[in-house]
Structure 1
Amino acid sequence: MALFGLIPDRSAEQAAPAGDSAEAARMAALQPAHPGPRELRAQAVHRLQIGLFGLAGMLLIVSLANVIMDRAKQVERTTAGTPAVAASPSASPSTANDPLVDMGVAPELPVGGGTKPARPAQRPPGN
């Protein structure tokens, strides 16, 4: 941290005159103590535990997603042969393919092989 100027370097303390012992004590209190081997080992074990719990959590999430996808595929396979909604006899075949009609935005137009919508009569160009 002395590199960034946040905490002065200890070498500056040693160069200070002996009369500034209060200042030297204050600077020594600001300097972080170097961790011992026991504390370093505890930090390493803590990091290892966090990493292993993170990996186990990811494995659990991926496994749960896999189970959900397998169940969805299984349900899709079993219901693929049977229609989900029975069509009423009066429903036209275009309503199943027209989402605007399903939402009620567009009117339902009858679809038939021989019927065509009536066109308005056109006026002769001379009138």
Structure 2
Amino acid sequence: MQSPQHFATPSPRELRAQAVHRLQVGLFGLCAMLLLVGLANIIMDRAKLADTEDPIRDVVAADSKPKKQATDPLADIGVVPASEPSPTPTPTPMTTPTPQDLADPLAPQQ
């Protein structure tokens, strides 16, 4: 007595049909990707051609407020050194007061 088979081995004809089907699906996917990339390229080229400088932008740019210069937040709080060190203030020379300055402090200086 023979036991029932749950899986029948595919015939050479079925194997060939599966291979042709996979090839068709792969070629269709490849063509679809080529068409999609070509369409995106055409759209980008047209956008570059249509992007002309508007004269109104010059007027708007002149009227707009100047933008605040970008700062590094980590350098602001002292975590990392600043990329552009701020200039150190120069110390003002100390002058000793003369006897005339001490006599009348509100008098105009010459």
Superposition TM-score, scaled by structure 2 size: 0.49
Structure whose residues are more often helix by fraction: 1
The structure whose RCO (Cα within 8 Å, separation 6+) is larger is: 1
Superposition TM-score, scaled by structure 1 size: 0.44
